[in-house]
A = this chain, B = another copy of it.
Amino acid sequence: MWQYIPPLRDMRFVIDEVLKAPAAWPAMQGLEDLDADMAAQVLEEAGRFASEILAPTNGPGDLEGCTWKDGEVTTPAGYKAAYQAFVDGGWPALACDPECGGQGLPELLNAALFEMLVGANHAWTMYPGLLHGAYEVLHQHASGWLRDTYLPKVTSGEWLSTMCLTESHAGSDLGLLRTKAVPQADGSYALTGNKIFISGGDQDMTPNIVHLVLARLPDAPPGTKGISLFLCPKWLPDGTRNAARCDSIEKKMGLKGSATSVMSFDGATGWLLGEPHRGLQAMFLMMNAARLHVAMQGMGHLEAATQNALAYAAERVQSRAPGKPEGAPKGAADPIAYHPAMRRQLWALQARTEAARVLCYWTAQALDEQARHPDAAVRAAAGDRATLLTPVLKAFMTDHGHYGADRALGIWGGHGYIHEYGIEQLVRDSRIALIYEGTNEIQAIDLVVRKILPDGGVKFGALLDWASAQCEGGAHAAAARAGLQALREAVAALQAEAASDAELPFRAADDLLFAVGEALLACAWARTDAVAAQRLAAGQGDAAFYQRKRLLAQFQHDWLSGELSARLAAVRAARAALPFLPTV
């Protein structure tokens, strides 16, 4: 019933025709030999892994969950074998540096890979989900024997990794954390403290686990400027068990196949990564990569919800619809896909999903340009764009992923509430993505207070100029550009009013972030429509495919463009007073 079919056709459309990425690869450092066919082959292989190996473990793994006994975690049946196949396929190293054993492929393909993994099984994907970030931290900060011992194993995925940040009193506010690191005579550190919400804190899939742990040195200043980063393996290089222990795993709403661990470090041996007291900077390297991957989770959730809802609505017959497509058979009841309320939801799901893919891949492409473009000015501009787009996408995509799945559940009616139909699991699994790697409210503050306002909106203006250029051609360019202009004015007004009301940007941040997302979504449709119109005019390719894209662009314009107006109205409403709560 529940299935995951890799959306390869649409991925290729976005990569090849909307982004025209393959045309740019020959000039990009390290991508000289990559072409569209090779990329398509990588995606096809990844899709086969996701749909054939991974997807079958998704529902059963949720029912079985992880088990904990005496500090050791057992993952659900099939997880370990799927992970072995993942490592054997070389997938962990897809976007890693070839000098470290990586395949050196672009972040664009890595993002598409993660979209498919999450669409097939989010809980399982939590285990390798942090590998790429750990690779980046070690690649940049580990040296000598530490690098030689750990970097190759993390690059290949032979050993999995964790990010040990959160403590029970220190979640969004890492400045409050208390775990201590005491220097030892041999150059190592003894780590002592407790961490919570550690994904994969223990598991039975790899013979060792590389914990990356935030802790304070004895002379550390208070707050976020006194935090250092340590590498602390489950098993020490001499084969003895380190004093890093999984004390229990959480009973969660979803992701039941992922072991969310309570960890205790009881004088565990670790080694410093990077400079003392500069651990947060090192960790943020990991978190920025992680934030785009969390956006890709929302993408995977949306795609999985949409394709399954479409399939169910086409099959499920219930009541007569007030209208039918021409030539449809007359029966006592019609497929629910004919009913207006369902049709509207199904169009909306598709319109969100396919434009979201354009937004996500645009951002991954910007990261590739930042890292590999020959022109320094292009690299800098792409970096600025990625910096602005990352918090927008993290919040916007996870919100649409979860609430899209939750609304989609209604298409199944009562069956949607039952585990075997799959959608309720997706709703549960997707909820955490709005919270972890920086809550969506923190993304909004990051975007508005730290990234848009400090330079007077200059870089944000450049993002809007870039988006405007993307809209060229087709039927919806003017409407999409009007949205960008409204956004520009909203930011200017916010900037002016913030001078006399310093709290205003915080009150307006959530809606402004979503307004940016909505405006960019309209640009993605304008661009898609222009490409489709061009193909149709030229008589190229599958006409039905491009006609459907144009219908979706029109649907976005007619039915969904009110979202942007509503968000901008909310930004204006945020000028009103927001008293402190009398109950506090």
**Is A235 positioned at the interface, with any CB of B under 8 Å from its CB?**
no
Cα–Cα distance between A578 and B351 once the two chains are bound (Å):
13
Instruction: Give the nearest-CB partner of A544 in chain B.
Output: B582
**B residues near A577, Cβ cutoff 8 Å:** 554, 558
Residues from chain B with Cβ under 8 Å of A414 in the complex: 166, 171, 196-197, 432, 435-436
A309-343 contacts to B, CB under 8 A, are: 310, 313-314, 317-319, 322-325, 332-333, 335, 337-343
A573 contacts chain B at the CB level, 8 A cutoff: yes
Report how far A507 CA is from B578 CA in the complex, Å.
36
Q: Which residues of B contact A434 (CB under 8 A)?
A: 410
Interface flag for A406 (CB, 8 Å): yes
* Contact present for A581 and B310 (CB under 8 Å): yes
Residues of B within 8 A of A197 (CB): 414
Which listed residue (B170, B335, B344, B441) contacts A578, Cβ 8 A?
B344
Is there contact, CB below 8 Å, between A318 and B173?
yes
Interface string of A216-239 (1 = CB under 8 A from B): 000000110000000000000000
Residues of B within 8 A of A424 (CB): 252-253, 431
- Of B324, B569, B580, the contact of A343 (CB 8 Å cutoff): B580
Q: Are B173 and A581 in contact (CB under 8 A)?
A: no
Looking across the interface, which residue of chain B has its beta carbon closest to that of A222?
Answer: B332
Does A444 sit within 8 A of B, measured CB to CB?
Answer: yes
Q: In the docked arrangement, what's the CA distance between A274 and B358, Å?
A: 59
- Choose from B324, B409, B544 the contact partner of A431 (Cβ within 8 Å): B409
List 7 A-B residue pairs with CB atoms under 8 Å apart, sorted by A's residue number: A169-B317, A176-B332, A251-B418, A335-B584, A340-B506, A343-B578, A547-B582
- CB of A155 within 8 Å of the partner chain: no
Partner of A340, one of B173, B335, B420, B507: B507
**What are the residues of chain B within 8 A of A142 when measuring CB–CB?**
none
| A551 CB–B CB distance under 8 Å | yes
Do A419 and B251 touch across chains, with their CB atoms under 8 A apart? yes
Does A427 have its Cβ within 8 Å of any Cβ on chain B?
yes
A72 at the interface (CB under 8 A from B): no
Which of A126-134, A529-537, A559-567 lies at the interface?
A559-567
Cβ 8 A contact of A413, one of B63, B338, B418, B439: B439
User: Does A509 reach chain B (CB closer than 8 Å)?
Assistant: yes
Q: Is A440 an interface residue (CB 8 A)?
A: yes
Instruction: Check B418–A252 contact: CB distance below 8 A.
Output: yes
Q: Are B503 and A318 in contact (CB under 8 A)?
A: no
Nearest-neighbour CB distance to chain B for A226, whole angstroms, equals 12
Let me know if A428 is at the binding interface, CB within 8 A: yes
User: In the complex the two chains form, what is the Cα distance from A341 to B439 in whole Å?
Assistant: 11
B interface footprint on A342-353 (CB within 8 Å = 1, 0 otherwise): 111011000000
Selected from B314, B573, B578, the residue in CB contact (under 8 A) with A584 is: B314
In the complex, chain B residues whose CB is within 8 Å of the CB of A323:
502-503
Task: Tell me how far the C-beta of A13 lies from the nearest C-beta in chain B, rounded to whole angstroms.
Answer: 15
- How near does chain B come to A255, taking the closest CB pair, in angstroms? 8
Indicate whether A417 reaches chain B with its CB closer than 8 angstroms.
Answer: yes
- B251 with A63: CB separation less than 8 A: yes
Q: Across the interface, which residues of B come within 8 angstroms of A339, CB to CB?
A: 441, 506
